């Protein structure tokens, strides 16, 4: 095929180089969070900026543009055509934004992230405000530039950078449905849990080495390939690294084993997606994970759908008792499962349970779309944020540290990212329901720590498809219908009100 398609073949070579460059950036990013001494931060920022600058140069250079046009006229196999489409998408996103805007935004984000750390610590929104306004101004410019090139509204253009093909027109009705029934559902669950058996937290301390050993054992059970990945420690858990080198992190609290463990399970879900991408395409755009909705669905299928099921706690409880050398009522499967499925509105998004989490996202989505549209001023953000928390979660935000200063996304220039968390939760519920229907041994397997039925299904229907199809197609073929809220609602009802 390549002999007849010289332009396409040349593009494959260029994108393989870009994949290597991005892999290098991924390892440097992992290192910065896990290994790097403090004094190296400035030099590391330079290194990553140079790598990203070179990748942008290569991607937007005339060689790529000309060959994309030529390759469009070449005879290609269907998968090559899908790859070419992804190449073109990457090119259009990159070429849409002038280099000086990329650099201005990158500098503004670096400054704003730095200020954010201290502003959050001191709960001082006023300190962040001018720099956040500058980041927003540049995001709006980027959204406008990408939107013009891609034929999209600015917010959709930003969103498309994280989740190709996702649009406000898809999100708005889904989120409207959630908004309609979620607050009532949360109230019903809270009432039910208040009236039911109260769970007892197991008493610590839980040695960090034991927590790590348990995490590694579960990663192995889940099918994480340690020849192509690692588990380390960082302040904020993440899944990073490079192709064939997938590195996840967690953080340990000697007083609470569940936080690190659930972090490991969540990130292992992301990692299985990365490790399950098709080998033949792993250095090409079509071999990349499809987008953040499907990525988050994979972490939540593991963490929330599989590993907070009653079935899984039949496996987990004795494993924990043995590992920590403990026993008693607090260590019974039923009690541990009750603890892991406790619903309680709180201020902090990353600490939220699966029922209240969407409320945090509905609010952020509403605010960031308004900010990008120019319908909300940065100065009015704290008030709007606090009003939203009161309306959606019934809580009075006492300070901005527990309010609009809690997340790095906005100062960090990740606008259009938030909705994918909840879209991922919807997709996870829908995919897990389909997997259970297709693999009757899935839930029984979990009682023995056997994740093979789930993993094999996900590998075939999601991981191996990578970016060879779009999110809609992957979801529709895997579950028989487009993304909706029904499966998520059914899941929440079954688990919490069943």
3-state secondary structure of 395: coil
Least distance in angstroms from the C-beta of 229 to its own copies: 6
Nearer Cβ to its own copies (159/289): 289
Backbone angles phi, psi at 245, to 5 degrees: -155, 65
- Segment 216 to 235, residues that bind its own copies, using CB under 8 A: 225-230
Phi, psi angle pair for 343, to nearest 5° = -110, 125
With a CB cutoff of 8 Å and minimum separation 6, the contacts of 340 are 258, 262, 308, 313
> How far is the C-alpha of 49 from the C-alpha of 327, rounded, in Å?
52
Q: Which residues contact 381 (CB under 8 A, 6 or more apart)?
A: 125, 132, 367, 371, 404
Q: Which stretch binds its own copies (CB under 8 A): 26-34, 146-154, 169-177, 377-385?
A: 26-34
31 binds its own copies (CB under 8 A): yes
Asked if 103 interacts with its own copies (CB under 8 A), we say: no
Among 141, 177, 245, 450, binds its own copies (CB under 8 A): 245
Q: Which stretch binds its own copies (CB under 8 A): 18-26, 153-161, 354-362, 388-396?
A: 18-26
- Give the residue with the Cβ less far from its own copies, 9 or 20: 20
Residue 2 assigned to a binding site = no
Active-site hit among 131, 134, 267, 303: 267
Contact 160, 420 (CB under 8 A): no
Q: How far is the CB of 270 from its own copies (least distance, A)?
A: 17
Taking the complex as a whole, how short is the minimal distance between the CB of residue 273 and its own copies, in angstroms? 17
Figure out which of the listed residues 44, 56, 167, 321 binds its own copies, where binding follows CB under 8 A.
44
Q: Which residues pair with 253 in a beta bridge?
A: 256
Name which position in 79, 103, 244, 450 contacts its own copies (CB under 8 A): 244
Q: Judge contact between 265 and 303, C-beta under 8 A.
A: yes
Footprint on residues 283-302 left by its own copies (CB under 8 A): 283
Least spacing, CB of residue 228 vs its own copies, in Å: 4
- Supply the DSSP symbol for 407: -
Which is nearer to its own copies, 13 or 117 (by Cβ)? 13
Q: Can you tell me whether residue 248 is helix, strand or coil?
A: strand
Number of residues that this document lists for the chain: 498
Rounded distance, CA 60 to CA 93, Å?
9
Known catalytic membership, residue 267: yes
Return the number of the residue (16 or 77) whose C-beta is nearest its own copies: 16
**Which of residues 10, 36, 150, 323 is near its own copies by CB under 8 A?**
36
Task: Give the closest residue to 372 by CA, choosing from 149, 150, 92, 152.
Answer: 152
**Using the rule CB under 8 A, is 168 a contact of its own copies?**
no
What minimum distance in Å lies between the beta carbon of 219 and its own copies? 13
CA 11 vs. chain centroid, Å, equals 29
Sign of the alpha-carbon torsion through 481, 486, 490, 492? positive
The verdict on whether residue 270 carries a ligand-binding annotation is yes
Kindly state the smallest distance separating residue 104's Cβ from its own copies, in Å. 17
Closest CB 42 distance from its own copies, rounded Å:
7
Distance separating alpha carbons of residues 408 and 425, to the nearest angstrom: 21
How would you list the strands of the sheet with 245-250, edge to edge?
229-233, 245-250, 239-242
Binding mask 50-89 for its own copies (x = CB under 8 A): xx--x-----------------------------------
Q: Which of residues 419-478 bind its own copies (CB under 8 A)?
A: none
DSSP code for 250? E
- CA 2 to CA 76: how far, in whole Å? 8
Tell me which stretch binds its own copies (CB under 8 A): 239-247, 317-325, 355-363, 453-461: 239-247
Q: What is the DSSP string of 180-244?
A: HHHHHHHHHHHHHHHHSPPP-PPP----HHHHHHHHHHHHHHHT--GGGEEEEE-SS--EEEETT
* Interacting residue with its own copies among 1, 2, 43, 374 (CB under 8 A): 43
Q: Does 20 bind its own copies (CB under 8 A)?
A: yes
Nearer to its own copies by Cβ, of 242 and 475: the residue is 242
Q: Which residues are catalytic?
A: 267
Q: Which residues are annotated as a binding site?
A: 266, 270, 296
Q: Which residues are annotated as a binding site for Zn(2+)?
A: 266, 270, 296
- By CB under 8 A, name the binding residues for its own copies: 16-17, 20-21, 23-24, 27-28, 31, 35-40, 42-44, 46-51, 54, 225-230, 242-245, 283
């Amino acid at each position: 095929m390549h002999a007849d398609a010289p332009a396409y073949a040349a593009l494959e070579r260029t994108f393989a180089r870009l994949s290597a460059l991005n892999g290098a950036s991924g390892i440097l990013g992992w290192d910065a969070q896990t290994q790097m001494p403090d004094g190296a931060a400035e030099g590391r920022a330079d290194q990553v900026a140079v790598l990203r600058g070179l990748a942008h140069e290569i991607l937007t250079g005339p060689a790529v543009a000309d060959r994309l046009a030529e390759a469009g006229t070449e005879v290609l196999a269907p998968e090559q055509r899908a790859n070419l489409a992804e190449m073109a998408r990457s090119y259009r996103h990159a070429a849409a934004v002038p280099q000086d805007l990329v650099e201005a935004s990158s500098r503004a984000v670096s400054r704003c992230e730095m200020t954010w750390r201290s502003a959050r610590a001191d709960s001082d929104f006023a300190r962040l405000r001018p720099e956040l306004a500058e980041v927003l101004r540049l995001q709006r410019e980027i959204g406008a530039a990408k939107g013009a090139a891609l034929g999209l509204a600015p917010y959709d253009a930003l969103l498309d950078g994280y989740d190709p093909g996702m649009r406000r027109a898809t999100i708005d009705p889904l989120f409207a449905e959630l908004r309609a029934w979620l607050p009532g559902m949360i109230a019903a669950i809270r009432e039910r849990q208040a009236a039911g058996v109260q769970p007892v937290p197991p008493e610590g301390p839980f040695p960090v080495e034991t927590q790590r050993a348990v995490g590694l054992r579960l990663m192995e059970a889940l099918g994480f390939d340690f020849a192509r990945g690692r588990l380390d420690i960082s302040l904020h858990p993440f899944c990073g690294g490079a192709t064939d080198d997938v590195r996840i992190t967690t953080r340990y609290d000697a007083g609470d084993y569940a936080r690190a463990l659930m972090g490991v399970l969540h990130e292992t879900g992301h990692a299985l997606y990365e490790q399950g991408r098709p080998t033949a395409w792993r250095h090409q755009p079509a071999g990349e994970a499809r987008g953040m909705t499907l990525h988050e669905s994979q972490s939540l299928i593991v963490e929330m759908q599989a590993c907070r099921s009653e079935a899984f706690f039949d496996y987990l409880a004795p494993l924990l008792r043995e590992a920590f050398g403990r026993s008693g009522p607090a260590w019974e499967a039923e009690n541990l499962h009750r603890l892991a499925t406790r619903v309680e509105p709180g201020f902090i998004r990353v600490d939220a349970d699966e029922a209240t989490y969407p409320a945090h996202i509905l609010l952020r989505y509403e605010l960031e779309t308004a900010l990008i549209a120019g319908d909300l001023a940065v100065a009015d953000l704290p008030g709007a944020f606090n009003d939203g928390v009161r309306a959606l979660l019934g809580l009075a935000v006492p300070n901005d540290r527990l309010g609009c200063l809690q997340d790095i996304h906005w100062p960090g220039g990740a606008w259009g990212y938030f909705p994918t968390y909840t879209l991922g939760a919807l997709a996870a519920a829908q995919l897990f329901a389909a997997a259970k229907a297709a693999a009757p041994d899935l839930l029984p397997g979990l009682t023995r720590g056997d994740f093979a039925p789930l993993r094999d299904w996900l590998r075939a229907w999601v991981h191996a498809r990578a970016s060879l199809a779009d999110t809609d197609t992957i979801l529709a073929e895997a579950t028989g219908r487009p993304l909706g809220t029904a499966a998520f609602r059914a899941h929440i009802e079954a688990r919490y009100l069943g």
